[in-house]
Amino acid sequence: MKPLQISIVILSLAGVISFFMLPKVVVENESDSPVEKNLTSKSVRDKELNTEMVAKHTVKVQESDLNVLADLKKQLAKASNTEKKLIFADSLSAYYRKLQQYDSAAYYKEFAAELSPNEARWAATGERYEEAFNFAIGDERKTYLKKAQSYYNKVLDQDPKNLEVKSKLAMTYVSGEQPMKGVGLLKEVLKDDPENQTALFNLGILSVQSKQFEKALERFDVLLKINPKYAPAHFYKGVSYLSLGNKEQALASFEKAKSLEKDKEFNAIVDDYIHQAEAGN
């Protein structure tokens, strides 16, 4: 079987799939001892895979799209009050995201957050910058990651118990240069909420990436007891079983994932792993 190259995160608010690589982090089972020796300084994605995934998710911008964007920008410039500016800024962010131009989507989401600062807008801005980071291939990636962390921290400064945002912040550290800080935050989330699905899923993913497949299965089993319809967890159970040489269990998990998720890109990746399992690779 070829190494797992991508992870899949369902962005529930948008109903789309974002693809990104995770660093090779070893998560100690229950130990609090230092594990820096288990980390690598390798970036989240190597250049080749990063470019491949960016190309896969690049939408060709039509002239009609450019006209829509130009009109929205004119409306934003002419807007006479904050409420109208927010409408056009949010519309620009959404349209750029539709075109998979994630840096511009983040810029206009940030523009709106500065016009009307609140926790919801800070969290949304953090999400957009994290997404821009995931798809960027240049030096700007560090800038996007820092912006995501900044906006997530704004939320947590106001509401330290916002566990969803805390989980998202954790993954920005995992994806950057402080992976163990991220792992620690995820464990803090589970301490406060042992059934937090985001934290369980992300810790399971980290276990897959560090080849701790038995531990990954434990994480995903806990998650699936809470939410049996969590398709990505079934998928990664399949990946874990396949890595452990359990073909039958892997195929069952892959088929279950497909039955729960209708997204074509998600299922295309599942099909690829099903073919690998059936071929015995």
Q: What is the pLDDT of residue 58?
A: 59
Q: What is the pLDDT of residue 138?
A: 84
HEC assignment per residue over 111-129: HHHHHCCCHHHHHHHHHHH
Mean pLDDT in the chain?
82
Would you say residue 239 has pLDDT above 80?
yes
Contacts of 11 (CB under 8 A, 6+ apart): 17, 18, 127, 131
Lowest mean pLDDT among 21-25, 146-150, 192-196, 246-250: 21-25
Q: What is the pLDDT of residue 177?
A: 86
CB-CB contact of 223 with 196 (8 Å): no
DSSP per-residue string spanning 129-182: HHHHHHH--STHHHHHHHHHHHHHHHHHHH-TT-HHHHHHHHHHHHHTT-HHHH
- Mean pLDDT value across residues 119-132: 97
Work out the pLDDT band at 240, boundaries 50, 70, 90.
Answer: very high
* Burial of 169: CB neighbours in 10 Å, binned 0-12, 13-18, 19+: buried
- For the chain, which domains are there? 7-210 (1.25.40.10)
Q: What is the pLDDT of residue 265?
A: 85
Q: What is the pLDDT of residue 21?
A: 33
Contacts of 30 (CB under 8 A, 6+ apart): none
Contacts of 170 (CB under 8 A, 6+ apart): 181, 182, 183, 184, 185, 186, 189, 199, 202
91 or 279, greater pLDDT: 91
Would you say residue 102 has pLDDT above 70?
yes
Work out the pLDDT band at 40, boundaries 50, 70, 90.
Answer: very low
CB-CB contact of 99 with 128 (8 Å): no
Q: What is the pLDDT of residue 57?
A: 53
Exposure string of 188-214, with b = 16+ CB inside 10 Å and e = fewer, is ebbeebeebbbbbbbbbbbbbbbebbe
- Mean pLDDT value across residues 121-128: 98
Nearest CA-CA partner of 214 in 24, 4, 8, 27: 27
Nearest CA-CA partner of 134 in 155, 113, 105, 94: 105
- Mean pLDDT value across residues 104-108: 97
Work out the pLDDT band at 79, boundaries 50, 70, 90.
Answer: very high
173 or 21, greater pLDDT: 173
Q: What is the pLDDT of residue 61?
A: 85
Would you say residue 183 has pLDDT above 70?
yes
CB-CB contact of 82 with 64 (8 Å): no
Angstrom distances, CA of residue 175 to CA of 43, 182, 193, 248, 250: 8, 8, 23, 32, 27
Q: What is the pLDDT of residue 281?
A: 56
pTM score, two decimals?
0.74
Work out the pLDDT band at 60, boundaries 50, 70, 90.
Answer: confident
